[in-house]
Amino acid sequence: GAVVSQHPSRVICKSGTSVKIECRSLDFQATTMFWYRQFPKKSLMLMATSNEGSKATYEQGVEKDKFLINHASLTLSTLTVTSAHPEDSSFYICSARTSFTFNEQFFGPGTRLTVL
Amino acid sequence: AQTVTQSQPEMSVQEAETVTLSCTYDTSESDYYLFWYKQPPSRQMILVIRQEAYKQQNATENRFSVNFQKAAKSFSLKISDSQLGDAAMYFCASMNRDDKIIFGKGTRLHILP
C-alpha cells in the first residue's frame, strides 16, 4: 500500500512551453501533497505544500506564477511549469500523506524535466 | 528554522562491515521527527528509519539503527552487515509539526565488494 505515482517519468520540452506533471496517490487519499525539486547531485528542496481543495503554500523564493500547483482531488495533484526555461530543468518529486499518517510522507518516483 | 547537516559527502565500506553516517540538526521545536531516507540510482526515495523526538529509545529496523542524541542534536545511522544493495545516497531529514521535511545534503555510500 501507500503508492504514489508520477507522470510522466521524463519529459523534454522546448523553451517557452508549459509542462504539466501529475502526482497520484494510488491506494490512499492524500489530504496533503508536497512538491520537491532536486538538482543533480543535490538534496531535495521543498517547493510547495498543497492541501486538497485549497491554494498551495509556496516556500520562500519559489515563484508561484511559474510553478502552478493544483490539488483538485484527494488522489491527484499537478505541477505545471509555465513558460519553461533551461534553468527549470531538474528532477521534480512529489510526496503525499494522509490525515492519519502525519509523520510519514510517501514519495513518488520523480519526473525528470529537460528544457531545451 | 530547521536545518539538517550531513558532513560526509561520500563514504565507503567493505561489504559485510558496519558503517555509520553522521547527521546533526537544529530546530526550535520540542516535538519533531527525524528520518533517514535512501535514494538509489532509480531516484525513488525510500524511508529507512524514523525516530520520534519524544522517544528516548533508538529506532531500529533490521540492519539499520540510529544513535539519537537529543541534547547534542545528533542523529547518526548505523548500517550493519553492509550489502551491495545498500549502495545509494542517504539523506538525513527532520520534520516539525508543520509537515515540512527538511533534508540534509546527503551522503553517498559506496559498498566495496
The 3-state secondary structure of A60-98 reads: CCCCCCCEEEEEEECCEEEEEECCCCHHHCEEEEEEEEC
Q: Using beta carbons and an 8 Å cutoff, which residues of A are at the interface with B?
A: 32, 34, 38, 42-46, 49, 91, 93, 95, 97, 102-105, 107, 109-110
Q: Are A49 and A95 in contact (CB under 8 A)?
A: no
Closest CA to B88 of B53, B36, B50: B36
- Cell output for A82: 509555465
Q: What is the pLDDT of residue A1?
A: 65
Average pLDDT in chain B: 95
Spatial distance between the Cα atoms of B79 and B86, rounded to a whole number of angstroms:
9
Spatial distance between the Cα atoms of A85 and B72, rounded to a whole number of angstroms:
43
User: CB contacts < 8 Å between A and B, how many?
Assistant: 44
> Is the confidence at residue A38, as pLDDT, over 70?
yes
Q: What is the pLDDT of residue A54?
A: 85
Q: How far is B53 from chain A (nearest CA, A)?
A: 11
pLDDT tens digit sequence for A42-63: 899 999 999 888 889 999 999 9
The CA-atom distances, in angstroms, between B85 and each of A41, A100, B39, B41, B46 are 19, 31, 11, 11, 13
Q: What is the pLDDT of residue A98?
A: 83
Average pLDDT in chain A: 92
Longest dimension (CA), chain A: 41
